[in-house]
Amino acid sequence: MKPDDFQFLATLVKDRSGLVLTQDKAYLLESRLMPVARKRGMKGLEELVSTLRARMDNVLADEITEAMTTNEAFFFRDIKPFDIFRETVLPNLLKARAQKKSFRIWCAAASSGQEPYSIAMVLKEFASQLASWRVEIIGTDISKEMLEKAKAGLYSQFEVQRGLPVQNLVKYFKKRDDLWQIDSGLRAMVQYKEFNLLEDMKALGTFDVVFCRNVLIYFDQQTKGEVLGRMAQQMTDDAVLYLGGAETVLGISDAFKPVQGLRGIYARTTGTGSLGDGATTDAARPAAPAAPSGFQQPKHMREGRPLAGTTGATPPPRPAGAPAAPRPALQPRPAGSPPPRPAGSPPPRPGVAPRPAGSPPPRPGAPRPAASPGRPLPPKPDIKKP
């Protein structure tokens, strides 16, 4: 592919999706766009580019963008974020929204639906507590093809084996020929909408939890900051944001701060933190801001005991300019007592008089020293010569 053609396509994809393609990804661009060119009856990417240069075809441009968008997804991906949702985020939402009895969850870049359906399965575990609640899960994606697949809820054997517990497969799926279809009740819990993260987000409404995992890694720094800034405006004051394990807000946006003790979870910097009783900010560690209320401290902190491997509470710091604590007075050694034993030397054997300092070691065959009182020496064996 000519460098000019690559740059044209890379710019088109970035402008439409935010995805950044570098020259070393030329092979990826060719492998994904050749099927698009063949579908249009074109000989190759050179003809594809020349057609778009002559007249911008928005439908063709959308097909190119969809083909280049990564659609990697599987159920309960990385598992830990869903454990945090089940054990911490959701219980605190139930407390904080007890009067309102409603909350909204947004799955940005929902792809083929595995993430929002995983969240729906967790919510099903709280069915009795959520019986009178209004809960919305909104899944958005730039790809029409992926959204249609998500709405149908049909997955291959390979897809249901990626992260989905067997008990959930049996409970929520039915076999449809060679595919598995998710339960209609779970499908009804999720609304899918076509949406581009580069656009204005106001039309989506306000959310209490946002999953935007493994999306920002494909954007450049400026685009990441812009997306996070717009996202913060669509979140309640005590809302939380999920990012992927390789993503962070540090050095990118000041709209969010990491939640202490919960990896991959972020809170709004301007939020009220009213999700419950949270951890406090450590004044000595400004880089670890306080969690919004509702995120409990680790157990060892709540019980006031030291973390395993530590020695417990540290002494209070000495005020600046204060004299050092005086050393305890040394007690005089009683007259006639032996000198102190050097550090590291073995203790004397009981009943054996110590050798005076500077005396030579005993010669082999020399008579043994007399035993001290209370421990007689054993008798010498009677050895008879032959």
- Do 206 and 241 touch, CB atoms closer than 8 A? no
Q: How far is CA 338 from CA 39, 334, 342, 353, 354, in A?
A: 100, 9, 12, 11, 9
177 assigned to some structural domain: yes
- Structural domain harbouring 41: 3-68
Strands 173-176 and 179-182, how do they pair? antiparallel
List, as one string, the DSSP characters of 143-208: -HHHHHHHHHTEE-HHHHTSS--HHHHHHHEEEETTEEEE-HHHHHTEEEEE--TTS--GGG--EE
pLDDT single digits (tens) 249-297: 999 999 999 998 888 999 999 765 544 334 333 322 333 344 444 444 4
- Which of 99-108, 297-306, 332-341, 372-381 is the most confident on average? 99-108
Backbone angles phi, psi at 211, to 5 degrees: -100, 115
331 assigned to some structural domain: no
Q: Residue 33's domain is classified under what CATH number? A: 1.10.155.10
Is residue 90 domain-shared with residue 178, that is, in the same domain?
Answer: yes
Is residue 277 domain-shared with residue 139, that is, in the same domain?
Answer: yes
Is residue 270 domain-shared with residue 151, that is, in the same domain?
Answer: yes
Is residue 290 domain-shared with residue 185, that is, in the same domain?
Answer: yes
**Number of domains, the chain:** 2
* Boundary (domain end) residue, out of 300, 326, 352: 300
Q: Which residues contact 346 (CB under 8 A, 6 or more apart)?
A: none
pLDDT for 278 equals 41
Beta bridge partners of 190: 137
Name the pLDDT band for 307 (thresholds 50, 70, 90). Answer: very low
* Boundary (domain end) residue, out of 68, 98, 123: 68
Backbone angles phi, psi at 331, to 5 degrees: -85, 140
Is residue 49 domain-shared with residue 96, that is, in the same domain?
Answer: no
265 assigned to some structural domain: yes
Is residue 134 domain-shared with residue 28, that is, in the same domain?
Answer: no
Q: Residue 225's domain is classified under what CATH number? A: 3.40.50.150
